[in-house]
Amino acid sequence: MARWLWRPSFAGFTIACAGFWAILWIFMIGLGSTSSIHKLAWVFLGWVIGFFVAALGRLVYPAPKSTLMGPKRTVRPGA
């Protein structure tokens, strides 16, 4: 069974996404055409809206304490 080297968190996910978008924007500004940059801007805007709606949802309705990454539970027959 594989183990995580670190505990996944929303903050880590946010930092990774910001790094990805920064690299993508640098690449597109350097090599992309004006048309492709404008298309990427619309995709980025949609992603930002979705990200903030998801973050708001996490604040209003936090994730459950038990997840699939937690210890395995066994079900006793007849319980």
In a domain, 41, yes or no: yes
Give the tens place of pLDDT for each residue, 6-61.
677 888 888 999 999 999 999 999 999 999 999 999 999 999 999 999 888 888 88
Angle between helices 34-60 and 10-31 (to 10 degrees): 170
In a domain, 4, yes or no: no
For the chain, the domain total comes to 1
**Can you give the residue range of the structural domain that contains 38?**
34-59
